[in-house]
């Protein structure tokens, strides 16, 4: 991470590592935490709930992130438990988060997921929908959009993912320039196979699983 940041003159401290612990037990999270890792991401609501309860019995304070596809009927199980929801990809989901966050009297930080690659298998807003989504978020005082998230197609050559990451950064910069949103500081992009390219293109968060924990348990 540090090398990739320094290649383009960035401060390595400006990039945060989200350790994606899907299918790994709380004991593995605790070991990583003891090594200095604080932020962990889960992409299944039930697994996040179980680990949230499990970690509560340990002498650790985890910064939880939800990074997977989120169904509206599952929002109530993670609201207020995670510092950031990375995968908000519809207006209906924004409205649901707003309603439940209002009930809890909290402000939930989120990222809008943007389908830069245009793959049908990917969730998220089309790039041309993002400005309208941000404007609608202005009507939701209990939802705070901190930036964007995207997933690039899996390529053997990570250089092929570079245009996806650069396009998300350019979209963010354009919206800031036109003052569509006051704070879009976060770009969550890059995984084990392509995180170095993502950092070079401006990622502030990378989501890494297997490079930290190894092959996933079945």
Token code pair at residue 102: 């209002």
- pLDDT bracket for residue 216 (50, 70, 90): low
> pLDDT tens-digit profile of 72-124?
999 999 999 999 999 999 999 999 999 999 999 999 999 999 999 999 888 99
Nearest-10 Cα torsion for 152, 157, 160, 164: 20
- pLDDT bracket for residue 217 (50, 70, 90): low
User: Where do runs of H (alpha helix) occur along 71-157?
Assistant: 91-104, 130-137
CB neighbour class for 130 (10 Å; exposed up to 12, middle 13-18, buried from 19):
buried
Q: 117 with 127: CB under 8 angstroms? A: no
Long-range contacts of 122-126 (CB under 8 A, 24+ apart): 122/151, 123/69, 123/87, 123/89, 124/87, 124/89, 124/149, 124/150, 125/89, 125/90
Token code pair at residue 172: 């963010």
pTM of the entire structure?
0.95
pLDDT at 39 over 70: yes
Q: Hey, is 20 helix, strand or coil?
A: strand
> pLDDT tens-digit profile of 155-178?
999 999 999 999 999 999 999 999
Nearest-10 Cα torsion for 32, 54, 49, 210: 20
């Amino acid at each position: 991470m540090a090398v990739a940041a320094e290649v383009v003159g960035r401060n390595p401290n400006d990039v945060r590592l989200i350790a994606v612990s899907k299918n790994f037990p709380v004991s593995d999270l605790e070991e990583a935490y003891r090594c200095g890792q604080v932020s962990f991401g889960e992409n299944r609501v039930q697994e996040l709930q179980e680990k949230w309860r499990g970690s509560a019995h340990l002498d650790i304070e985890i910064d939880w992130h939800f990074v997977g596809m989120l169904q509206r009927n599952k929002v109530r199980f993670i609201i207020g438990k995670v510092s950031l929801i990375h995968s908000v990809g519809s207006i209906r989901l924004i409205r649901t988060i707003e309603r439940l966050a209002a009930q809890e009297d909290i402000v939930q930080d989120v990222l809008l997921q943007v389908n830069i690659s245009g793959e049908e298998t990917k969730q998220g807003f089309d790039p041309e929908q993002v400005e309208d989504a941000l404007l609608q978020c202005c009507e939701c005082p209990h939802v705070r959009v901190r930036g964007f998230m995207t997933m690039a197609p899996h390529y053997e050559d990570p250089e092929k993912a570079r245009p996806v990451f650069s396009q998300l950064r350019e979209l963010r910069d354009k919206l800031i320039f036109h003052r569509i949103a006051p704070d879009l500081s976060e770009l969550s992009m890059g995984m084990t196979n392509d995180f170095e390219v993502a950092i070079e293109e401006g990622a502030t968060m990378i989501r890494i699983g297997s490079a930290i924990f190894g092959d996933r348990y079945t």
